Amino acid sequence: MAELILVRHGQANSHATDEESYDRLSDLGHQQAAWLGEHMRATNPQFDRVLTGSLSRQQETARSMGYDGFEVDERLDELQYFALAEALESQFGIPAPQEPTEFARHLPEVMDHWSRDLLPGVPERFGDFSARVNDLVNEICAGHGRVLAVTSGGVIGMAVRHILDLQNGGLSKIMLQVMNSSMHRVDHVHGMTMLGAFNAVPHLDAPDRAHARTHV
């Protein structure tokens, strides 16, 4: 039996306008990750493997959780949203969000155009992103043990799409709901890969942590 715990990174620089400036945790992001690490140490902290992508915000999250000895797997890297947004605006005149609240409108449009291969010249095709995420999930679930993977919302959304066989409209809805520092459990039992938990944030349940329940 294999168990995969996917964790989204803590809050990053939500006012960034490019990939580089977005790729660092805010102070709140570090706190979210620290609280999650405390929760894991108080419940079930042992993992056979700990993985992160190559992005700074993912690795910072793992370290703030208290997991320093991680492996890096670039298949956990996030899709390059700023490049996709730029392509959508330049080719179709659909403006990029200026405020985080506009993201819910913009994301489904990006995913629709990207999934139909209507954004040539972007760093990664939708099919390639889907394949690398699905390959990673399948590879882990074909093994045994408990694996922690610190990643990003797009990767988690794609993994859930794969497991539940969702259409792309469902993918956008999943991605919009993934909270910072949330946990998602994937179990491989009886020869099947199943979603055991989605968007769990028990470390943020206390009333005085309501401000830390963030999506962007």
pLDDT by residue, tens only, the chain of 216 residues? 799 999 999 999 877 778 888 899 999 999 999 999 999 999 988 999 999 999 999 999 999 999 999 999 999 999 999 999 999 999 999 998 887 778 889 999 999 999 999 999 999 999 999 999 999 999 999 999 999 999 999 999 999 999 999 888 889 999 999 999 999 999 998 888 999 999 999 999 999 999 999 998
pLDDT of residue 139: 96
Residue 69 three-state SS: coil
pLDDT of residue 101: 78
CA-to-CA distance for 5 and 44, rounded, in angstroms? 11
As its CATH architecture, domain 2-145+155-191 has 3-Layer(aba) Sandwich (3.40)
124-153: string of b/e by CB count within 10 Å (b at 16+)?
Answer: eebeebbebbbebbeebbeeeeebbbbbbb
Residue 8 three-state SS: strand
pLDDT of residue 71: 97
pLDDT of residue 24: 95
Q: Name every residue whose Cβ is closer than 8 Å to that of residue 167 and which is 6 or more positions away in sequence.
A: none
pLDDT of residue 35: 98
pLDDT of residue 66: 97
Each domain of the chain, given as residue ranges in start order, spans 2-145+155-191
- Give yes or no for a contact between 85 and 102, defined as CB atoms under 8 angstroms apart: no
Q: H helices within the chain, ranges in order?
A: 19-22, 27-42, 56-65, 81-92, 103-115, 126-141, 153-164, 168-177
pTM score, whole prediction: 0.95
In degrees, rounded to 5, the angle at the alpha carbon of residue 187 between the alpha carbons of residues 154 and 9 is 30
- Give yes or no for a contact between 186 and 193, defined as CB atoms under 8 angstroms apart: yes
Q: Name every residue whose Cβ is closer than 8 Å to that of residue 63 and which is 6 or more positions away in sequence.
A: none
pLDDT of residue 17: 77
> What's the distance, Cα to Cα, between the start and end of the chain in Å?
34
